[in-house]
Structure 1
Amino acid sequence: MGRNRSANYEDQREAILAQAAALFASQGYPGTSMNQVAAASGLSKPTLYHYFKDKYALLVHIAEGHVKVLEQVVMEVEAMKLKPDAALREMIERFVMEYAGAADAHRVLTEDVRFLQEPDRQRILGHERKVVEGFADAIALLRPELDKAHLTKPLTMLLFGMINWMFTWVRADGHVTHEQLAPMVADLFFGGLPAVGLPAIKRKR
């Protein structure tokens, strides 16, 4: 007979994942041990293994859990049926705010994905591709000609270049908060998007 789960089982799992993400983010996945995760979580090592079978399982759950949240944000905004400009602005601002509360998990996703086994890496990359497609589709609705020129995904990646690395320089005690930066990022992108020109067609020799 399987061991019964306590009423706060899922809460404890989330707490462990948060502690593991903080450790992975500060000292790297290879440099973190299950002993350290157990100590940070206030658990014995045998108890920790009741929740996660090994350190690799923690990595997969952190990375996949984070990217699934981002994918959910895209789907929620799409379901709101906003006008194209409002939808894209909503996505941008929600992403900035999501990163504000998930800096450790985001660092793990961006820096430790190389330690994932291929099936797990491909599955997580599949979620990331859906996120990119959601933003690219929103840009395409604003400027269809950019979609025809296959520029919406490159522009999405340029946008992510602005926000994906905010965790490296935005500080909780800094002069500018994520709440203040979120509309600024959207303003920068919307201000520049109309100026994007179509590239010259390269003629084959």
Structure 2
Amino acid sequence: MPRKRAAGYDNQRETIVEQAAALFARNGFVGTSMNEVALACGLSKASLYHYFADKHQLLMHICEDHIDRLCALVDEVAQQDLAPEPRLRLLVQRFVEEYRDAQNEHRVLTEDVRFLEPGDQKRILNGERKVVKAVADAMSAVRPELDRSRMAKPLAMLLFGMINWMFMWLKPDGELTHERMAVVVSDLLFGGIGAVGLDGAGKKKR
């Protein structure tokens, strides 16, 4: 019979994940020890191992949880059955909001996933592919000829390029908010999407 978890187990586990993500984001996965994670959580190292077997399992949990939230976000937007433009704008808004609240996790996913075992990397990559495909499909719904030219995915990657590293320069207490920048990203996207050349040469001026 499995041993029952103590009250507060899940809360403590979440605290560990949050503290580890902050340390990995600041010092890198290799540059962070389990001792440092335990110290940040106010736990002994033995207590920390009660929640996570090793540092790689902790890294996997951070990456997988972040990807799961992004996939859930994609599913929630899809269920709203919106017209093409509102759908894409809502996806942008939700991604920007999610990154605002998960900057450490996103940085860990971007920079440290390479330290996972190949099988775990594949699971994370499959989640990332689902997210990118959802955005590519949303773009194709706005401009159907993107599918024929195979430009939907590259444009989706360019969009992520705009928002993925926003945390590097957008200050939490600055004049520009994430909500405002989500609108700016969408406006920039829709203002320029019709001008993207499908043959790689750019749209010719009339």
Aligned to 1:175: 175
- After TM superposition, the score normalised by the length of structure 1 is 0.94
Aligned match of 2:106: 106
Q: Which residue of 2 aligns with 1:62?
A: 62
Displacement of 1:200 after TM fit?
A: 6.6
Deviations 1:133-170 (A, max 9, x none): 10011111111111111100000000000001112111
User: How many Å separate the matches in 2 of 1:198 and 1:50?
Assistant: 54
Q: Distance in 1 between matches of 2:200 and 2:13?
A: 53
Range with greater deviation from structure 2 (171-180 or 107-116)? 171-180
1:1-205 → structure 2 map (5 Å cutoff): 2-199=2-199
Q: Distance in 2 between matches of 1:36 and 1:2?
A: 30
- Contact 1:96–1:182 (CA under 8 A) maintained in structure 2: yes
Number of positions where the alignment pairs a residue of Structure 1 with one of Structure 2: 201
CA distance in 1, matches of 2:186, 2:194: 13
**Corresponding residue number in structure 1 for 2:204:** none
Amino acid at match of 2:138: A
What is the Cα-based RMSD across aligned positions, in Å? 1.3
Which runs of 5 or more structure 1 residues have no equivalent in the other structure? Answer: none
Q: Percent identity?
A: 57
Q: Counterpart of 1:112 in 2: which secondary structure?
A: helix
Q: TM-score, normalised by structure 2?
A: 0.94
The amino acid across from 1:66 in the alignment is H
The 3 A distance-change label for structure 1 pair 176 and 200 is closer
For residue 34 of structure 1, report the CA deviation from its aligned partner.
0.7
**Structure 2 unmatched ranges of 5 or more:** 202-206
Query: Where do 4+ consecutive residues of structure 1 move more than 3 Å?
Result: none
